[in-house]
Structures are given as structure tokens and as C-alpha cells.
């Protein structure tokens, strides 16, 4: 890929400027009592240099400081202004907080607030790309404080195990709200392999571009994931509900300007003769005035309707009258195995993933026996990591696959509960139907095992059924098992079977 042209340098400058002025405008509006909340991306804008390297079929799975990244990807300030005011005509239908980006048309996945929970779905999307043999990739980002989350480590392990086409970007601004993290993040604690992580200065737009260009070429060539640790400064308080002057010294705050990617990039381009100070001032003023008008227009746009509160919680279940199995005498385990087989035969997008599901074991209850032998590109063993199983399913389903994933016992769902209730159950609703999660999770259930004790005997359907967006089905006969599993596999929403 050629070096940055003058046109691309100016495009990056304008994107960073647009991101900065939109943040400043939202801060100003919030002080006026207009809008409910503000999350700043100031200091993080240089990641726009990564987005201009992406193709139309690549994916971005961001977090809430990535305004510059998503603007570079193709979202507009008008769209983000509508999100700021929680208006109806947005990627979330007005259901998300500001800076919780979602744009299915540009493959920008819906941001969840619990930071770090986006990483395993990002791996699921990347696995779908890999299974299809495509050269596309996923960029996923996370703040430094969230690198202490378990999902962060599970995502790294899964990406390395599968050699997934994904670029991980840690945006290290040194703070988790008020807590200083430079001494307690996993890189500082030697919990990560330093040689895996390329450490980059977040103020250096050119360096980020050059590093990303090299990494993306490596990923597209099939060489597996790449990991960036980008040190930057958070140039504003955590959110509009925070005041960083309470925990950062006046001297520290004065020094922040030296780390401002906008100032550094502007000064570099002027020094290179790409533009003059006068030309910069003109561009700066034009963008500022345009953004003021876009926020004025957004404030007058249509609000969400209370009558639509329950729209896109789930879709209607499919109406099917297929004969799945010929008449005969079956046990429930037999019908599950045969129905799974029929599903794999019918649709190559169906993927089975779970602990011990491959032959020769074929599952601890033999529910998947002979399936990996006959469908080796659709049936895979998982690690013993329920959050991985659930989070990867969410990403695969978002990408367009049809995951049918096994949990060895329903009692073991709780290590993955964050993925279940943060992402899987909410994705359709929080994105106003623009993203969906057609996934099936099947698991043995109830007190059927003598001596099963506490974690092999639970009947926890009442817990799961209380989360909007999840459907729970429990067969009591072999006929029920075949019919309910077949219907679940043809649905457009998450089903626990």
C-alpha cells in the first residue's frame, strides 16, 4: 500500500478535526442542559488513521471513545448528533447512550457499555470471515482498564488459537475513570507476552498509520492476529458526570496539550508544507460551523415513540411444518443428534461448537457423535470457556452464520452470563433490529444424573426466561425435542434449548 498522499493526510486532519469539534459541541450542549450525557473521544482521534486502511467488507468492533475511528470508517457527525440526542432515526433507534456506535451498513458493531464484552463477539465475526476463506478482517478496540476483564484474556487466547484475522487495539489513556492504570494493567504486570504487543504513541498519526498498514497486510495474508498497545492521553474528564481535576494535578493537565494528536498532526502537516496555518484556520472554522448546524438540525429530529418500546425485542418465531424425522421409536438424545445432523446438511452456515463435541467423544452425552467426522468444517471442539462459547456465538451470528453451540451442562452457563445478558439478549433491541443474534444454545438440564449434586442438576429456566430477548424451550418428549430444536435453528433470535 502506498504512503499517505497529501489528499489522505488532509482527509485524516479533517476527520480528527470533525471528531474534536463534535466532542466540544456535545460538551457545550450538555452544559446548557441539552442532551443527557457526553462521552469524549478527545485524545483518541488518531485511530482514524486505521480506519482509512479498511475495505468495505471489513468490520469494526469499537468501544465508546472511538469517535475518530468510526468517522473515518464512514459514519457521519449528523448520525452521531442524532445519537447524542437519542433520536429515533439512528443505529439504535434512540435506545443507546451517546458514543455507543452502531452502523450495520458500515460493519460497525453495536457498542455495549460493559467494556471488554465486545472482544469475544469480535472474535466470532473474525472466525466467520476465516471460515468463509475471505481476506477481510476485524478491528476491535478496548480501553486499558478493561484489559483486566476475563473476556480480554479469553479473546486473546481464542484469536491466537484460531489465528483469526483480527487487530486488537488497547487504547491506554492511563485511567479507569479516576484510577491510574499504568502500573496495574496486564502489560505492566507481565501477565502478557511483551513481544506480542506493539507499543505505539497515540499522538503520532503517521506512526499509527504505518503500523496499521503493516499489521493489516500481515493479517490479510493469513498470519493471524496482531496486537497494538497505544499510549494516549484522555484530554477530558471520563464523561460529563466526572471532573478529572479532582484526581489529576494541575501540572499533569497542563502537560496534556503536548500529547494532543490534533495539534501534533496539524503542526506536522504545516511543517511539511501540506497546508498553511491560514488554510488550517479556514478548514477548522468551516468544520466547526457545519457541526454546529448539524447539531441544531439533530435537536429537532423525531424522537422515539413509547409505543415502540417492545419493537425488536425478538422477531416472530418461524412457522414450520417440516417432517424432520420419519416415524419411529426414538430417545430424546437420538432425536437431538439426528436433528442436528439434518440442520448441518441443510445449511452450511450452521456451526456446532462446544466442549468435547468432536469425535471420538461426540459430546459427553453423545449428542454430536459422528457429526464432526461427517461435517469437519462445521463441528468444532471449544476450549473450556463458557464466555468464549457464548461471545463467539454472538459474533458469528452477527456475521451471518447460524451457530448451534453446546454447553456441557446448563449449570455451567454462569461463567458466560455477561455475554448472555449484555450482548446476546440485547443485540436486536439495542440496535433497533439492525443487528441480530440467531443462535441456539443447547444443554442438558435438570436432576437426571444420580449424584449430580449442585452443578449437574440445576433447573434454572426461570432465571434465563426473565431476560427480554431470550427464549427458553424445554422438550419433554422425543417429538418435542426434534420439533423445538428444528424451529430454534430456523429462528432469528437466541434460543436456549
Structural domains of the chain, with CATH: 6-305 (3.40.50.970), 332-496 (3.40.50.970)
Strand residues in 320-442 grouped as ranges (E)? 350-354, 379-381, 402-406, 440-442
Beta bridge partners of 60: 108, 139
Q: What is the DSSP letter of 149?
A: S
Angle at 366 between CA 361 and CA 367, to 5 degrees: 125
* 22 sits in which H/E element: helix 6-31
* 471 sits in which H/E element: strand 471-472
CA separation, residue 443 to residues 216, 312, 493, 495 (Å): 38, 26, 17, 11
How many whole angstroms separate alpha carbon 66 and alpha carbon 171? 9
pLDDT band at 2; cut points 50, 70, 90: low
The mean pLDDT of the chain is: 96
Pinpoint the alpha helices (H) of 356-447.
371-374, 386-399, 417-418, 427-430
- Predicted pLDDT at 157: 98
Q: What is the DSSP letter of 253?
A: H
- Predicted pLDDT at 451: 79
Determine the straight-line distance between the first and last CA of the chain, rounded to whole angstroms: 48
The region that residue 94 occupies, defined by phi over 0 for left and psi between -120 and 50 for alpha, beta otherwise, is left
| Mean pLDDT across 453-480 | 93
* 167 sits in which H/E element: strand 166-172
The residue assigned the cell 457541526 is 291
- Predicted pLDDT at 454: 85
Grid cell of 444 as nine digits: 442438558
CA separation, residue 87 to residues 113, 229, 296, 300, 309 (Å): 19, 35, 13, 9, 14
pLDDT band at 228; cut points 50, 70, 90: very high
pLDDT tens, position by position, 420-438: 999 999 999 999 999 999 9
Q: Are 79 and 62 in contact (CB under 8 A)?
A: no
CA separation, residue 149 to residues 245, 343, 484 (Å): 27, 35, 36
- Predicted pLDDT at 287: 98
Percent of the chain with pLDDT over 90: 95
- Predicted pLDDT at 450: 78
Pinpoint the alpha helices (H) of 87-245.
119-131, 150-162, 205-220
Q: What is the DSSP letter of 379?
A: E
CA separation, residue 238 to residues 233, 234, 271, 451 (Å): 11, 8, 33, 51
- Predicted pLDDT at 89: 96
Q: Are 174 and 229 in contact (CB under 8 A)?
A: no
- Predicted pLDDT at 42: 98
**What 3 state SS string does 96-107 have?**
CCCCCCCEHHHC
Q: Is the pLDDT of residue 1 over 70?
A: no
pLDDT tens, position by position, 144-174: 999 999 999 999 999 999 999 999 999 999 9
* 43 sits in which H/E element: none
Burial degree of 194 (CB within 10 A; 0-12, 13-18, 19+): exposed
- Predicted pLDDT at 457: 86
Q: Is the pLDDT of residue 448 over 80?
A: no
pLDDT tens, position by position, 333-382: 999 999 999 999 999 999 999 999 999 999 999 999 999 999 999 999 99
Q: Is the pLDDT of residue 449 over 90?
A: no
pLDDT tens, position by position, 135-147: 999 999 999 999 9
How many whole angstroms separate alpha carbon 67 and alpha carbon 101? 8
Q: Is the pLDDT of residue 129 over 90?
A: yes
Catalogue the active-site residues: 456
How many whole angstroms separate alpha carbon 387 and alpha carbon 405? 12
| Mean pLDDT across 51-70 | 97
Amino acid at each position: 500500500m502506498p504512503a499517505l498522499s497529501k489528499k489522505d493526510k488532509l482527509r485524516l486532519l479533517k476527520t480528527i478535526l470533525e471528531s474534536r469539534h463534535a466532542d466540544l459541541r456535545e460538551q457545550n450542549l450538555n452544559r446548557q442542559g441539552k442532551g443527557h450525557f457526553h462521552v469524549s473521544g478527545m485524545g483518541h482521534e488518531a485511530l482514524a488513521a486505521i480506519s482509512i486502511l479498511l475495505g468495505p467488507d471489513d468490520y469494526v468492533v469499537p468501544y465508546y471513545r472511538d469517535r475518530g475511528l468510526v468517522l473515518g470508517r464512514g459514519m457521519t457527525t449528523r448520525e452521531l448528533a442524532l445519537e447524542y440526542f437519542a433520536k429515533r432515526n439512528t443505529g439504535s433507534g434512540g435506545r443507546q447512550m451517546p458514543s455507543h456506535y452502531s452502523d450495520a451498513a458500515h460493519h460497525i458493531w453495536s457498542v455495549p457499555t460493559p467494556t471488554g464484552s465486545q472482544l469475544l463477539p469480535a472474535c466470532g465475526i473474525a472466525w466467520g470471515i476465516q471460515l468463509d476463506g475471505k481476506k477481510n478482517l476485524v478491528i476491535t478496540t478496548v480501553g486499558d482498564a478493561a484489559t483486566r476483564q476475563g473476556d480480554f484474556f479469553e479473546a486473546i487466547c481464542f484469536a491466537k488459537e484460531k489465528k483469526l484475522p483480527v487487530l486488537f487495539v488497547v487504547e491506554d489513556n492511563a485511567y479507569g475513570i479516576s484510577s491510574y492504570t499504568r502500573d496495574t494493567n496486564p502489560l505492566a504486570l507481565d501477565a502478557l507476552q511483551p513481544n506480542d504487543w506493539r507499543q505505539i504513541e497515540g499522538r503520532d498519526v503517521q506512526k499509527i498509520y504505518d503500523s496499521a498498514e503493516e499489521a493489516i497486510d500481515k493479517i490479510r495474508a493469513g498470519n493471524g492476529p496482531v496486537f497494538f498497545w497505544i499510549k494516549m492521553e484522555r484530554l477530558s474528564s471520563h464523561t460529563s458526570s466526572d471532573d478529572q481535576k479532582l484526581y489529576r494535578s494541575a501540572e499533569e493537565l497542563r502537560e496534556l496539550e503536548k500529547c494532543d494528536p490534533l495539534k501534533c498532526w496539524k503542526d506536522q502537516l504545516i511543517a511539511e508544507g501540506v497546508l498553511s496555518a491560514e488554510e488550517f484556520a479556514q478548514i477548522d472554522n468551516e468544520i466547526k460551523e457545519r457541526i454546529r448546524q448539524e447539531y441544531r438540525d439533530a435537536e429537532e429530529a423525531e424522537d422515539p415513540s413509547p409505543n415502540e418500546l417492545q419493537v425488536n425485542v425478538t422477531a416472530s418465531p418461524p412457522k414450520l411444518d417440516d417432517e424432520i424425522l420419519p416415524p419411529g421409536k426414538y430417545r430424546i438424545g437420538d432425536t437431538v443428534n439426528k436433528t442436528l445432523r439434518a440442520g448441518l446438511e441443510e445449511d452450511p452456515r450452521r456451526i456446532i461448537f462446544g466442549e468435547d463435541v468432536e469425535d471420538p467423544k461426540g459430546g459427553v452425552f453423545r449428542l454430536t457423535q459422528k457429526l464432526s467426522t461427517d461435517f469437519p468444517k462445521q463441528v468444532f471442539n471449544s476450549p473450556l470457556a463458557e464466555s468464549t462459547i457464548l461471545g463467539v456465538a454472538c459474533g458469528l451470528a452477527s456475521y451471518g452464520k447460524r451457530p448451534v453451540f453446546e454447553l456441557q451442562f446448563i449449570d455451567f452457563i454462569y461463567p458466560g452470563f455477561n455475554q448472555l445478558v449484555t450482548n446476546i439478549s440485547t443485540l436486536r433491541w439495542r440496535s433497533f433490529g439492525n443487528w441480530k443474534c440467531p443462535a441456539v444454545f443447547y444443554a442438558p438440564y435438570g436432576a437426571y444424573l444420580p449424584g449430580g449434586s449442585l452443578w449437574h442438576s440445576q433447573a434454572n429456566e426461570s432465571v434465563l426466561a426473565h431476560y427480554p430477548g431470550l427464549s427458553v424451550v424445554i422438550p419433554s418428549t422425543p417429538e418435542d425435542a426434534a420439533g423445538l430444536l428444528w424451529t430454534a435453528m430456523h429462528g432469528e433470535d437466541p434460543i436456549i434449548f
